[in-house]
Amino acid sequence: MADSFKIDFQAHGKVESGDLIVFVGENLKPADAVGKQLGRKAVDLIARAAAAESFKGKAKSAMSIVVPEGLPVDRLIVVGTGGEKDGKDMDFVQLGGLIAGKVNGKLATAILDLPGVEVTPDAVADMALGAQLRRYSFDRYKTKKKDEDDKSGGRLVFRVADPAAAKKAYKAREGVQQGVILARDLVNEPPNVLGPEEFAARAQSLTKLGVEVEILDDKAMKKLGMGALLGVAQGSVRPGRVAIMRWNGGRANDKPIAFVGKGVVFDTGGISIKPGAGMEDMKGDMAGAACVVGLMHALASRKAKANVVGAIGLVENMPDGNAQRPGDIVTTMSGQTIEIINTDAEGRLVLADVLWYVQDRFKPKFMIDLATLTGAIMVALAQEYAGLFSNNDELAERLIAVGKATGERVWRMPLGPEFDKMIESKFADMKNSAGRFGGSSTAAALLQRFVNDVPWAHLDIAGTAMGSPHNEINKGWSSGWGVRLLDRLVREHYEAR
Ligand code: BES
Ligand code: MN
Ligand code: ZN
């Protein structure tokens, strides 16, 4: 679906047509070798154009010189690399996105020789990844395409010191790229197209990458006693599903790591129905599940040396004659009972059964769940950080660190007996809503009752997964948040070497 570049890696040499991209520091000078290649006149031209455009070579800035005199190319795109500090913590994924946003012809060539900045093969691969993510758009349902919408067929050439090494590094990134795009596509799909069964079928198609996939239907879930998940599903004519994906790339006896996703394909709120304004956004209430599918795609594509379980709870939350009511009490697979106070607090009900199932069956090293769980997390963190809740400091610290490295940042929020107490119920073991105060923490406290001392982290992605602020690699509605974060977590900490 997504438009993409055809990307090539080539050794340094003459560039004779299309867009040419070069990098300059705050002194407006390219790296020495690039200066030589362009010639004195072109370097002077950059300085003159910079003065005219007030371009200062700052990081994250760029200017274009159209039909540059003395050069055979159509445009010279000059990208700033900023000062020394900018060079040290350069985000190459975002930089690749920035470049992709500037080119518009059929061919663009970037000379990846940056003044004062080391560009490793991994950095080149990151730039290629960023460029492709920037190129993404979701236009499957637009029948009248405008000319400027056609972004297919563009070629992007990276001129690098070691093309073979860059190519190899990019090959290892391509799975992540496809995983992010898969997650974005799933979140963008309309809810009439993507019900629980259709979503499960998309998960099932990972079998072609060597992922083992099992689908639990109504009957299987009843047998397991997943009363909380089934309680949410019962208001919809489309039955719920659980999909379990397994990638066994690690040693045979290694305990798996597990990822669990909230997959509410549409959240009307149920009988506690939501107001109409903006309700269409609730097609994205399956972003946690989409991330897990995208992540499994990424890990399997690059044959990650780890045993990984991905489990997603797929339901539709609808108001109906058969829908559950406030006041209902459901029995979860764990045996614990939950009083329904608000049928719109449905995500935690779905996750309660899936988390319990995963820890019970797989005895994982850890579990991380992702869920568009609460509006309250946006009140606390806006849309820049996902909320992180964890019973394990090591896992939490690792997530914070890979968050900084990928730009998919998380902020740790409190769990504890105070919040646990707030979900006590008059009639059951707990209630599913404790009102407005600490809404994200009380939701997490409920989940914690179903993790049974397994190291666990919960990521509340209600703010980051959709409608989040645009950046150089995301100009759409769904961001595919979490795929790059968790792929990196696995890569850095959980793969056999
Ligand atoms: N899916 C929503 C949370 C949400 C809101 C995600 C906005 C993305 C954007 C969740 O199921 C929900 O409705 N939560 C309620 C909980 C409340 C009833 C305790 C909320 O946040 O208002
Ligand atoms: Mn809800
Ligand atoms: Zn929801």
| Ligand 3 midpoint to CA 265 (Å) | 9
Of 309, 296, 316, 136, which Cα lies nearest the Cα of 205? 296
Q: Is 468 in the pocket of ligand 1 (CB under 6 A)?
A: no
Quote the CA–CA distance of 224 and 351 in Å, as a whole number. Answer: 15
Task: Name, in order, each residue with C-beta under 8 angstroms of 281's C-beta and a sequence gap of 6 or more.
Answer: 466, 467
Quote the CA–CA distance of 496 and 21 in Å, as a whole number. Answer: 39
Q: Is 108 in the pocket of ligand 1 (CB under 6 A)?
A: no
**Angle subtended by helix axes 196-204 and 287-301, to nearest 10:** 10
262 is in an annotated binding site: yes
pTM for the model: 0.98
162 is in an annotated binding site: no
Spell out the long-range contacts of 165-168 with Cβ–Cβ below 8 A and sequence spacing 24 or more: 165/121, 166/9, 166/121, 166/124, 166/125, 167/9, 168/121
- Name the residue at shortest CA distance from atom 13 of ligand 1: 344
Catalytic status, residue 348: yes
Quote the CA–CA distance of 292 and 126 in Å, as a whole number. Answer: 21
**Residue 249 carries which side chain, given as an amino acid letter?**
G
Pocket test for ligand 1, best of 340, 343, 350, 374 (most atoms within 8 A of CB): 374
Quote the CA–CA distance of 139 and 2 in Å, as a whole number. Answer: 8
Per-residue pLDDT of the chain (497 residues; tens, 9 = 90+): 458 999 999 999 999 999 999 999 999 999 999 999 999 999 999 999 999 999 999 999 999 999 999 999 999 999 999 999 999 989 999 999 999 999 988 999 999 999 999 999 999 999 999 999 999 999 999 999 776 666 667 999 999 999 999 999 999 999 999 999 999 999 999 999 999 999 999 999 999 999 999 999 999 999 999 999 999 999 999 999 999 999 999 999 999 999 999 999 999 999 999 999 999 999 999 999 999 999 999 999 999 999 999 999 999 999 999 999 999 999 999 999 999 999 999 999 999 999 999 999 999 999 999 999 999 999 999 999 999 999 999 999 999 999 999 999 999 999 999 999 999 999 999 999 999 999 999 999 999 999 999 999 999 999 999 999 999 999 999 999 999 999 999 999 999 87
Catalytic status, residue 274: yes
- Name the residue at shortest CA distance from atom 22 of ligand 1: 375
Q: Which of 56, 274, 365, 412 is catalytic?
A: 274
- Name the residue at shortest CA distance from atom 8 of ligand 1: 462
Pocket test for ligand 1, best of 187, 281, 344 (most atoms within 8 A of CB): 344
| DSSP secondary structure letters along 420-450 | HHHT--SSSSEES---STTHHHHHHHHHHTT
Of 13, 68, 27, 496, which Cα lies nearest the Cα of 248? 496
Quote the CA–CA distance of 455 and 366 in Å, as a whole number. Answer: 5
Q: Is 465 in the pocket of ligand 1 (CB under 6 A)?
A: no
**Residue 205 carries which side chain, given as an amino acid letter?**
S
| Ligand 1 midpoint to CA 288 (Å) | 13
Q: Which of 246, 348, 409, 449 is catalytic?
A: 348
